[in-house]
């Protein structure tokens, strides 16, 4: 008998940053007590929200 596990679907998105920006991003995540993934999700949500409020989106 096999067990089916329902895991959220995920896809890895890779990108590189300058060493300075990578340090700053990691520090910000640590200061907020967030993983890098959660910090990105928070930033993306803000970006998406801003697009609907007349923001430039870029």
pTM of the model: 0.69
Residue 23: what are its φ and ψ, rounded to 5°? -65, -45
d(C-alpha 37, C-alpha 23), whole Å: 15
Percent of the chain with pLDDT strictly greater than 90: 66
Model pLDDT for residues 19-44, shown as the tens digit of each residue: 999 999 999 999 999 999 999 999 99
The Cα-based distances of 20 to 12, 17, 27 in angstroms read 23, 8, 11
Query: What pLDDT is attached to residue 2?
Result: 60
Mean of pLDDT values over 50-58: 69
d(C-alpha 26, C-alpha 40), whole Å: 11
Kindly report the average pLDDT of the chain as a whole number.
88
Could you tell me the pLDDT band of residue 58, with boundaries at 50, 70 and 90?
Answer: low
């Amino acid at each position: 008998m096999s067990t089916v596990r329902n895991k959220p679907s995920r896809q890895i998105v890779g990108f590189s940053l300058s060493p300075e920006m990578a340090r700053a991003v990691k520090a910000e995540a640590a200061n907020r007590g967030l993983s890098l993934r959660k910090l990105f999700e928070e930033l993306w949500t803000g970006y998406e929200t801003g697009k609907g409020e007349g923001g430039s989106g870029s």
